[in-house]
Amino acid sequence: MSTLLITGGCGFIGSNFIRHLLHSDPSVSVINFDSLTYAGNLANLTDVSSHPLYTFVKGDITNREQVRAAMGRGVTDVIHFAAESHVDRSIQDSGPFVRTNVIGTQILLDAAREFGVKKYVQVSTDEVYGSLGADGFFTEETPLHPNSPYSASKAGADLLVQAYQHTFDLPAVITRCSNNYGPYQFPEKLIPLFVTNLLRDEPVPVYGDGQQVRDWIHVLDHCTGVEAAWRQGKPGEVYNFGGRCEKTNLDLTHLLLDLLGKPQTLIRYVKDRPGHDRRYAIDCTKAERELGWSPAWTFDRGIRDTIHWYQENEAWVTGIKNKDYLSYYESQYGHFS
């Protein structure tokens, strides 16, 4: 029986991961450790909140005592999703990114050592590799060259994980995934922002010329990758995950307009993001070869399913867009432990 400490389980990917695991493996119990920032939402896990193998602990990874108390609940493995995750916010203020992504990771690594975990999985991003030109792909050997405060803080965390693995023999693996999309994604990222705006006939802001390229992967494919890295990944190794699905932002915008039956007049070209990375594309052959993983969702199926989810879950979107869900949950539940 494994007891997983999953940090950031109330966010987009963490909540999909917890649901996936609870539905697929009755021998795993989950402690979801999350501080409920603006991006953390208990409503992402309402359907599993009373599952017998699920516990929620409200806690901050930058708080050593809170982390140690959670680890003391019999944790055998750590899967670390918690992060400040939005590039635009990191450009406005990098402070929370350094605190949570770098210092929070260091505190978690210390606790993982102290409590002798069997496996530690650092959920990282392809953005640590920087930006590609028109050709080539990121492999696990690509040198780190982060360009935004977000990716720099994630790269800093990755380097700490590698140092703890090397110096202290911590059984740690790192996963680096491309851009995720799917249900429960906070509507500040491109796909949920554009879908939810278009559903309300509101305009969508395309940064710069819209020719930046991202490699899109369905969140459940990322989840099966993280699970495979946890179960089979070799300590000290890095595994890249991607969807083999490159699209320019403008092509993606046109696709969303088409699927939703909305006019091109809703496109607004706005000032480019400072330091905007031009292209990301992942070579995921190592994960396919060594973990037996491969992406199962086609983009066509995944994006239709995602649009449908946002259509069906308007109350979730409205709660977030009205920014009232945090105070609502605090008033309902007080504090959690």
Looking at beta carbons only, is 103 or 193 nearer to ligand TYD? 193
Tokens linked to 308 = 């449908």
Residue from the set 4, 6, 12, 293 that interacts with ligand NAD by CB under 6 A: 12
The structure tokens 């432990």 sit at: 337
Which residues from 90-129 bind ligand NAD, rule CB under 6 A?
Answer: 100, 104, 123, 125
Looking at beta carbons only, is 100 or 249 nearer to ligand NAD? 100
The neighbouring-strand residues paired with 29 are 3
Q: Applying CB under 6 A, does 228 fall inside the site for ligand NAD? A: no
- Select from 12-20, 228-236, 278-286, 322-330 the region that touches ligand NAD (CB under 6 A): 12-20
Q: CA–CA separation, 307 vs 144, rounded Å?
A: 34
Amino acid code (one letter) for 30: V
Tokens linked to 51 = 């599952």
Where do runs of H (alpha helix) occur along 171-218?
A: 190-199
Q: Applying CB under 6 A, does 11 fall inside the site for ligand NAD? A: yes
Look up 127 and say whether it is catalytic: yes
Residue from the set 18, 39, 71, 220 that interacts with ligand NAD by CB under 6 A: 39
Q: Applying CB under 6 A, does 187 fall inside the site for ligand TYD? A: no
Nearest to 31 by CA among 1, 3, 10: 3
Write down the catalytic residue from 54, 120, 129, 150: 150
What is the CB neighbour count within 10 angstroms for residue 258? 10
- Select from 31-39, 269-277, 278-286, 300-308 the region that touches ligand NAD (CB under 6 A): 31-39
**205, interface contact from ligand NAD, ligand TYD, none, CB < 5-8 Å by kind:** ligand TYD
Residue from the set 19, 119, 154, 279 that interacts with ligand NAD by CB under 6 A: 154
First to last CA, the chain: 22
- Do the Cβ atoms of 31 and 57 come closer than 8 Å? yes
- Select from 10-18, 254-262, 274-282, 314-322 the region that touches ligand NAD (CB under 6 A): 10-18
Triad 47, 49, 53: Cα angle to 5°: 115
- Which residue of the chain is nearest ligand NAD when measured via CB? 11
**206, interface contact from ligand NAD, ligand TYD, none, CB < 5-8 Å by kind:** ligand TYD
Which residues from 243-282 bind ligand TYD, rule CB under 6 A?
Answer: 249, 273
Tokens linked to 49 = 């909140």
Q: Applying CB under 6 A, does 243 fall inside the site for ligand NAD? A: no
Write the DSSP string, 280-319: --B--HHHHHHH-------HHHHHHHHHHHHHHTHHHHHH
Q: CA–CA separation, 337 vs 316, rounded Å?
A: 24
Tokens linked to 7 = 């940090």
Residue from the set 4, 19, 21, 34 that interacts with ligand NAD by CB under 6 A: 34
Q: CA–CA separation, 223 vs 297, rounded Å?
A: 12
Q: CA–CA separation, 2 vs 74, rounded Å?
A: 9
Closest distance of CB 254 from ligand TYD, Å: 13
Q: CA–CA separation, 186 vs 244, rounded Å?
A: 23
Residue from the set 42, 206, 238, 291 that interacts with ligand TYD by CB under 6 A: 206
Nearest to 101 by CA among 118, 81, 129: 81
Triad 51, 55, 59: Cα angle to 5°: 150
Residue from the set 40, 149, 242, 243 that interacts with ligand NAD by CB under 6 A: 40
Q: Applying CB under 6 A, does 165 fall inside the site for ligand NAD? A: no
Looking at beta carbons only, is 48 or 262 nearer to ligand NAD? 48
Q: Can you give the binding site for ligand TYD, defined by CB under 6 A?
A: 87, 179, 189-190, 193, 205-207, 212, 214, 249, 273
Q: Can you give the binding site for ligand NAD, defined by CB under 6 A?
A: 7-8, 10-14, 34-37, 39-40, 60-62, 81-85, 100, 104, 123, 125, 154, 177, 179-180, 186
